[in-house]
C-alpha cells in the first residue's frame, strides 16, 4: 500500500485560494435573446418561454405566458399561418417544431385568467369592430386599466372569426372561450350597431380614445360582364350565410386561390355533396397564396384545383349558366412589388350554377370621416395606427398589408399601446421602437409593462446553438378526420394533442436564446465560477475567461465580453 502524496504533489487545501479571475480580461455574461420563431411571430409570442413550461407539463403557467402577447391562442392555434414554424432553428436538425399545435393545446388545457395591471380606471375607450384586431386592442387596453366598449355591426361578436371561418377550422365554442377571457377584463360589447361617420365624431367627443377596427368589409369585384347574374356570389359574404335555399347544383366554381377561396370550396363540398366543386385561380398550382395545408385538405375532400386561368365573362340568361376563362400567368413587378396578371393564349368554358368570387376584400371608406382618406387610401401610420384625428387610431385590415388573423392581433396590440402612449403624453413610435421584437412589426406587451427581460433586437441563430444535447426526433403531426368523414359534417378536421403529446413535442424545442437552467455551464466550469442564482451569474474573482461555458451553452445565452 502506498500514500498518494509520496508519489505526486497533492494539495489538501481548498481551491478558493486560487483566484484565477485575473488571468483573463474576457468574462462570460448571461444575456437572453429572442429566437427566430419569436421574431417571425407577428404577435410577438415568447415561444421558447411557453415551450419550456409545456415541456414541464405546466399548462396554466404556459397560458399565462401566451396571454402576455396574444389574447386569442385558441383561435391562432387553429387558423394561424404559423410563420414562426418556417423560422424554427430545429429545421436545420430534422423537422420544424409544431408550435401552432402546442399553442392550441395550451389554450385547451390551461385555465389561467388575465387581470388588469391597474385597478383604477384610466379612461374610457371605444372600439368599433369586434374582429381579431378589435378584440386584441380591447384586451390590451383592458389589462392596462381602461374601461373599454366594443361596438359591432352584426348580432354577435367576433367579426370574421365568427362569420367568416367555418366550424371545421374554428369551432364557435373556441371563440366563446376566448371572449370570456376578454370579458373578465370588464370589456363591454354592443352588437347590431351600424357604423356611421357622424357616430365616429360623437365617439371621439364622448370617449377618451377611439380605435377603428372595422376591417375590409367590401368584396373585391372583377367588374366583368355577367357578374350580376343570379348565382354569382362573393367569398366572405357567402360564407357569412351559406345555408340559403335548398337547390340542386351540378357544379360550383370558386374563383381565387387564397384561404377564403379554399374555405368557400370546402363549405360548398359539404353543402352540395353531389356537385362537382372546382377552384380556379391565375396562379399556377403550387403558387396559390392559400395555406398549403388547407389547399391539400380541400383536394383530399374532392375539390378540383385548376391554376393558370382567370375569368373573362359570366354567361347566362338571368341565372348563371357558365363561366369563360382565359389562360393567364401571374408575375411580380420587381420595381413596385405588385403582382400582375398577364393574359396568354387559350380559353376554357366551365358550366356552373354557382360561382363564388373570392379574390380579396377592400375597406369601406364611406364609413369613416373624409379627412382620414387621401388618394383613396387611409391616412394612418401603418405601425402605430395613429391618424390625423386626435386620439383616434386604426387597426386590422384597414391598414394591414397582409389580411391574416395574427397580423390583426398584432395590429390591435400596437394600436392599444400607441393610444395609451398618446393619452399619457408619450411618443407612440418611440415606445414601440423600444419594445419591438426583432426586425418585424411585432412588439412585446410584456416588455412594455415589466421592462425588457431580454435583448429584443438580438436573435439566437442556429449557428450559435450547441447541438451537444439534442438528438434527432421528428415532430408529431396530429391526426385528422378521414376525407369521407369530413365532408358529411362541419366537425373540426384536425384532432388536438393530448397533454402527453404536447409535452413531448415541446421537449423538442431548442429554447433558443432562453436559459432553462440546464446546468451544463455549472457542471463543466473548471473553476466552479458559476453561481446558480436567478438569473445565473459569474463569480469574476474565480473566472479566468476560458469560454467553456459559452461554447457549450445549448441555447446561446452566455456571451464572452
Instruction: Assess whether the region 124-217+363-434 and the region 222-362 belong to the same CATH fold.
Output: yes
Q: How many CB atoms lie within 10 A of CB 105?
A: 26
Q: What angle do CA 217, 218, 221 make, to 5 degrees?
A: 155
Q: Which residues have CB under 8 Å from 379's CB, separation 6+? A: 371, 372, 373, 387, 388
Q: What is the pLDDT along the chain (561 residues), one digit of tens a residue?
A: 566 667 777 767 776 777 777 787 889 999 999 999 999 999 999 999 999 999 999 999 999 999 999 999 999 999 999 999 999 999 999 999 999 999 999 999 999 999 988 778 889 999 999 999 999 999 999 999 999 999 999 999 999 999 999 999 999 999 999 999 999 999 999 999 988 888 888 888 899 999 999 998 899 999 999 999 999 999 999 999 887 766 789 999 999 999 999 999 999 999 999 999 999 999 998 899 999 999 999 999 999 999 999 999 999 999 999 999 999 999 876 666 667 899 999 999 999 999 999 999 988 888 888 888 888 788 899 999 999 999 999 999 888 778 899 999 999 999 999 999 999 999 999 999 999 999 989 999 999 999 876 788 899 999 998 888 899 999 999 999 999 999 999 999 999 999 999 999 999 999 999 999 999 999 999 988 999 988 888 998 999 999 999 999 999 999 988
| Closest of 391, 411, 416 to residue 140, by C-alpha | 416
Tell me the three cell numbers of residue 149.
366598449
Contacts of 471 by beta carbon, 8 Å cutoff, 6+ apart: none
Residue with cell 457542471: 523
CA distance 328 to 348: 11
Q: What is the pLDDT at residue 185? A: 96
Distance from the Cα of residue 19 to its chain's centroid: 50
Q: 128 with 200: CB under 8 angstroms?
A: yes
User: Alpha helices of 459-537 — where are they, by DSSP H?
Assistant: 483-486, 499-506, 520-524
CA-to-CA distance for 154 and 174, rounded, in angstroms? 19
The distance of Cα 465 from the centroid of its chain, to the nearest Å, equals: 25
What's the pLDDT at 519?
93
- The span from the CA of 310 to the CA of 346, in Å, is 11
Q: For the chain, how many residues are written? A: 561
Residue 360 CB: number of other CB atoms within 10 A? 17
Q: CA torsion 169→173→174→179, rounded to 10°?
A: 130
d(CA 275, CA 230): 18
Which residue carries 386626435 as its cell? Answer: 390
Determine if the peptide bond prior to 535 is cis (ω within 30°).
yes
The CATH number, out of the four listed (3.40.50.1220, 3.20.20.20, 3.40.50.300, 3.50.50.60), of the domain defined by the range 124-217+363-434:
3.50.50.60
CA–CA dist 251, 147 (Å, integer):
51
3-state secondary structure 299-359: HHCCCEEEECEEEEEEEEECEEEEEEEEEEEEEECCCCCCEEEEEEEEEEEEECCEEEECC
pLDDT of amino acid 118: 77
What local confidence, expressed as pLDDT, does residue 246 receive? 65
Closest C-alpha to 15, from 533, 538, 525: 525
Helices 59-66, 99-109: crossing angle, 10 deg rounding: 110
Selection from 218, 290, 220 nearest residue 258 by Cα: 290
252 contacts 235 by C-beta, under 8 angstroms: no
The pLDDT value given to residue 403: 87
What's the pLDDT at 467? 83
In angstroms, the CA 126 to CA 113 distance is 23
* Helix H or strand E segment including 459: strand 455-459
What is the per-residue pLDDT for 146?
96
Q: What are phi and psi of 409, to 5 degrees?
A: -60, -45
> Looking at domain 222-362, which of 3.40.50.300, 1.50.10.20, 3.50.50.60, 3.30.390.10 is its CATH number?
3.50.50.60
> Model-level pTM greater than 0.85?
yes
Class of residue 429 by CB neighbours under 10 A (exposed 0-12, middle 13-18, buried 19+): middle
Q: Is 50 helix (H, G, I), strand (E, B) or coil?
A: helix
Coil/strand/helix, residue 494: strand
100 by Cβ neighbours in 10 Å (0-12 / 13-18 / 19+) ranks as: buried
H or E element that contains 407: helix 405-424
Domain definitions of the chain by residue range = 124-217+363-434, 222-362
Amino acid at each position: 500500500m502506498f500514500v498518494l502524496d509520496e508519489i505526486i504533489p497533492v494539495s489538501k487545501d481548498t481551491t478558493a485560494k486560487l483566484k484565477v479571475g485575473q488571468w483573463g480580461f474576457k468574462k462570460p455574461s448571461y444575456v437572453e435573446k429572442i429566437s427566430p420563431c419569436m421574431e417571425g411571430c407577428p404577435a410577438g409570442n415568447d415561444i421558447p418561454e411557453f415551450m419550456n413550461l409545456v415541456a414541464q407539463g405546466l399548462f396554466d403557467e404556459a397560458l399565462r405566458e401566451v396571454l402576455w402577447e396574444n389574447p386569442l391562442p385558441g383561435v391562432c392555434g387553429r387558423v394561424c399561418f404559423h410563420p414562426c414554424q418556417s423560422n424554427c432553428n430545429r429545421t436545420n436538425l430534422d423537422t420544424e417544431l409544431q408550435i401552432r399545435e402546442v399553442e392550441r393545446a395550451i389554450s385547451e388545457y390551461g385555465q389561467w385568467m388575465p387581470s388588469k395591471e391597474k385597478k383604477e380606471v384610466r379612461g374610457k375607450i371605444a372600439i368599433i369592430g369586434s374582429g381579431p384586431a378589435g378584440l386584441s386592442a380591447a384586451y390590451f387596453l383592458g389589462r392596462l386599466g381602461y374601461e373599454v366598449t366594443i361596438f359591432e355591426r352584426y348580432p354577435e361578436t367576433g367579426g370574421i372569426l365568427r362569420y367568416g371561418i367555418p366550424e371545421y377550422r374554428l369551432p364557435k365554442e373556441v371563440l366563446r372561450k376566448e371572449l370570456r377571457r376578454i370579458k373578465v377584463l370588464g370589456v363591454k360589447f354592443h352588437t347590431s350597431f351600424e357604423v356611421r361617420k357622424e357616430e365616429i365624431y360623437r365617439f371621439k367627443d364622448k370617449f377618451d380614445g377611439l380605435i377603428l377596427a372595422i376591417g375590409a368589409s367590401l368584396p373585391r369585384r372583377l367588374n366583368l360582364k355577367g357578374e350580376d347574374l343570379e348565382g354569382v356570389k362573393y367569398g366572405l359574404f357567402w360564407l357569412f350565410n351559406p345555408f340559403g335555399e335548398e337547390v340542386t347544383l351540378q357544379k360550383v366554381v370558386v374563383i381565387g386561390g387564397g384561404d377564403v377561396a379554399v374555405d368557400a370550396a370546402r363549405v360548398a363540398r359539404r353543402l352540395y355533396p353531389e356537385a362537382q366543386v372546382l377552384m380556379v385561380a391565375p396562379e399556377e398550382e403550387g403558387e396559390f397564396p392559400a395555406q398549403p395545408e388547407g389547399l391539400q385538405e380541400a383536394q383530399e375532400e374532392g375539390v378540383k384545383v385548376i391554376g393558370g386561368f382567370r375569368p373573362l365573362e359570366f354567361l347566362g340568361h338571368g341565372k348563371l349558366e357558365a363561366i369563360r376563362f382565359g389562360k393567364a400567368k401571374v408575375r411580380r413587378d420587381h420595381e413596385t412589388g405588385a403582382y400582375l396578371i398577364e393574359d396568354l393564349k387559350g380559353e376554357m368554358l366551365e358550366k356552373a350554377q354557382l360561382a363564388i368570387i373570392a379574390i380579396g376584400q377592400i375597406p369601406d371608406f364611406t364609413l369613416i370621416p373624409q379627412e382620414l382618406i387621401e388618394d383613396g387610401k387611409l391616412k394612418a401610420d401603418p405601425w402605430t395606427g395613429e391618424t390625423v384625428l386626435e386620439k383616434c387610431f386604426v387597426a386590422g385590415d384597414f391598414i394591414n398589408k397582409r389580411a391574416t388573423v395574427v397580423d390583426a392581433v398584432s395590429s390591435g396590440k400596437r394600436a392599444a399601446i400607441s393610444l395609451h402612449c398618446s393619452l399619457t403624453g408619450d411618443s407612440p413610435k418611440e415606445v414601440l421602437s423600444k419594445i419591438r421584437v426583432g426586425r418585424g412589426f411585432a412588439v412585446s406587451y410584456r416588455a412594455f409593462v415589466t421592462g425588457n427581460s431580454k435583448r429584443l433586437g438580438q436573435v439566437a441563430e442556429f449557428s450559435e446553438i450547441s447541438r451537444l444535447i439534442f438528438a434527432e426526433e421528428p415532430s408529431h403531426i396530429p391526426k385528422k378526420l378521414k376525407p369521407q368523414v369530413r365532408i358529411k359534417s362541419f366537425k373540426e378536421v384536425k384532432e388536438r394533442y393530448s397533454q402527453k403529446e404536447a409535452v413531448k413535442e415541446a421537449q423538442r424545442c431548442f429554447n433558443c436564446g432562453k436559459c432553462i437552467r440546464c446546468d451544463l455551464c455549472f457542471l463543466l466550469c473548471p473553476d466552479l465560477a458559476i453561481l446558480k442564482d436567478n438569473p445565473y451569474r459569474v463569480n469574476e474573482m474565480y473566472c479566468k475567461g476560458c469560454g467553456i461555458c459559452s461554447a457549450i451553452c445549448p441555447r446561446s445565452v452566455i456571451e464572452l465580453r
